[in-house]
């Protein structure tokens, strides 16, 4: 009876098929960050399929809405809150069938009625930080 020989390398000890070599080569040639990058590129490119696209008429209507919305914003910045609220409520009625415009006007009305900014800009908090004065001469 013949004794099995002791193989010194892993290649001779294991059975290596063509698919195994292909997988190892793919892992070497295409590192994980490349696979991630290509996946994100494919998802970004395919996002065109599920985004909302406005027709030319809807685009022009939204541009007109923006011009009218700006009038209310100028009233608001001038401190004429009551007039701005009336203007926004008029816009809300006029653009009730336009989802984006209706959402923006509703958000602005809610902000004015509550009297505070839902998303403050600038500092994260309006609280004053009191630091102790340094001691010494």
For residue 5, what pLDDT is reported?
Answer: 64
- Whole-number pLDDT of residue 89: 93
Q: What does the pLDDT look like over 9-60, one tens digit per residue?
A: 655 556 667 777 777 787 788 888 887 888 888 888 887 777 667 788 888 8
Residue scoring higher pLDDT (19 or 62):
62
99-114 vs 56-77: helix crossing angle, rounded to 10: 10
Q: Which among 87, 85, 91 has a CA at the least distance from the CA of 65? A: 91
Q: What is the pLDDT of residues 95-122, one digit of tens each?
A: 888 888 888 899 999 998 887 654 444 4
Q: In this structure, what DSSP letter does residue 136 have?
A: -
Structure tokens at 82: 């009551």
CA distance readout (Å), 125 to 35, 100, 117, 131, 136: 41, 29, 12, 16, 31
Q: Is this structure's pTM higher than 0.85?
A: no
Domain boundaries, the chain: 18-46, 56-114
């Amino acid at each position: 009876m013949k004794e099995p020989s002791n193989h010194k390398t892993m290649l001779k000890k294991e059975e290596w098929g063509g698919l195994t070599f292909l997988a190892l080569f793919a892992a070497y040639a295409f590192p994980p960050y490349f696979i991630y990058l290509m996946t994100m590129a494919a998802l970004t490119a395919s996002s065109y399929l599920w985004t909302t696209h406005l027709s030319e008429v809807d685009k022009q209507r939204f541009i007109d809405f923006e011009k009218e919305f700006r009038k209310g914003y100028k009233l608001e910045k001038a401190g004429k809150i009551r007039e701005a609220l009336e203007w926004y409520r008029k816009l809300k009625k006029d653009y009730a069938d336009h989802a984006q415009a209706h959402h923006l006007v509703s958000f602005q009305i809610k902000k004015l009625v509550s009297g505070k900014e839902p998303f403050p800009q600038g500092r994260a908090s309006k609280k004053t930080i009191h630091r102790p004065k340094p001691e010494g001469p």
